[in-house]
Amino acid sequence: MGGLARLEIHSFRNIGHCAISPDPELNVIVGANASGKTSLLEAIHYLALGRSFRSSNFKPLIQSGKPETILFGELASGASAGLRKSRKGEQQLKLNGKAVRGWEDIAREMPVQLLDTTSFSLLTEGPKLRRRFIDWGVFHVEQAFLPAWRRAHKALLYRNSLLKQPGKPDAGQLSAWEEELVAGALQVTASREVYCQRLLCAFSQALSTLDKGLGGAVTLQFHAGWNREHDLAGLLREHRESDQTQGSTRHGPHRADLLVKSGNHRAVDVLSRGQQKLVVSALKVAQGELFFETREQRPIYLVDDLAAELDEGNRKGVFDLLQSLGAQLFVTCVNRKALGSNLSEPVPGSLFHVEHGTIMA
């Protein structure tokens, strides 16, 4: 069981107040540009993950003239999550009525997958987005991943801090933090590698469903962030001087990447924009399938204006595949006709109209 049973939004972007009871499967949000339909998806995303997919600054998320925003979600599982955040940065975050400090437990209870314009940058942008994509999956399938990631991240920050100090860094401190970095890196990398091996199979199946020709032609390769023919500890020692010149650590799990290839070439270099979007859609579907295999729960899919991103034939294939998952979908569009016959007809209560920040069933 998964998905939102009830959602309340107060003073978020241009949404003054709304309270809806979403359908467990299909929810279509219709509205003109700048009406607030994407803001509804953004509110769900922020409640689930503690970050926006449109802005790194939280202040624009609070409705103009209002001192704070309040988000509340009740899940089909019976769990609930609530957030109160003020313009001053003061924050109250609760899970099942109890205060929590971070989003780790809420993210596990309320897994979301986003498919929008930024998602389609997964192939064209740098490796940071692809690392985040991998880590979302590993976080949800392996409990030990996050502590190992934090260990490596902390060690990396301290090593970089030492490298940036004037003069020669203290060799003893460098060695200590490099030892910590390597220990965390090996755990993180092992988890990522196992996950990517599982992902390849699910991805190939999903992509074949969308495009039989692409299904066998596009492959995934995991890159750890350093040449694993060499010992990471040795590489860190060997490159201390050059790393100090650059002021950063150039080998480690923070440089990991998911290489998406078509034959011997990067997929982004040889595939059309439409084909690239099918590849990203297949990656998102595959990740949801792996999540279900592990947790027996479906993630919530937030699908923003796909009618503007894919042509009609490819759009139908993506929507058909998403609907076959049995997951809860929130799908935005400028008007219902923009989706054509791509989605099954919404049942009563699952079609929402948005106008000037007001959401009506």
Q: What is the mean pLDDT of residues 346-352?
A: 67
Question: Treating both helix axes as pointing N-terminal to C-terminal, what angle do 312-324 and 273-295 enclose, rounded to 10 degrees?
Answer: 0
| Mean pLDDT value across the chain | 92
Specify which residues 266 forms β-bridges with: 261
Per-residue tokens: 46: 């922020």
- pLDDT at residue 311, as a whole number: 86
Q: What are 186-200's pLDDT values in tens digits?
A: 999 999 999 999 999
- pLDDT at residue 157, as a whole number: 98
Look at residue 228 and give its three-state secondary structure.
Answer: coil
8 A C-beta contact, residue 158 and residue 178: no
CA proximity to 207, closest of 123, 328, 302, 269: 123
Q: What is the mean pLDDT of residues 113-134?
A: 93
Q: What is the mean pLDDT of residues 248-271?
A: 96
Instruction: Say how far apart CA 91 and CA 68 lie, in whole Å.
Output: 9
CA proximity to 126, closest of 246, 266, 228: 266
Instruction: Say how far apart CA 253 and CA 131 lie, in whole Å.
Output: 9
Q: What are 35-91's pLDDT values in tens digits?
A: 899 999 999 999 999 999 998 888 999 999 999 999 999 999 999 999 999 999 999
Per-residue tokens: 24: 């467990």
Q: Report all structural domains of the chain as residue ranges with CATH numbers, in order of start.
A: 116-295 (1.20.1050.90)
pLDDT bin (cut points 50, 70, 90) of residue 33 is confident
8 A C-beta contact, residue 301 and residue 327: yes
Burial class (CB in 10 A: 0-12, 13-18, 19+), 316: middle
- pLDDT at residue 49, as a whole number: 95
0.85 surpassed by pTM: yes
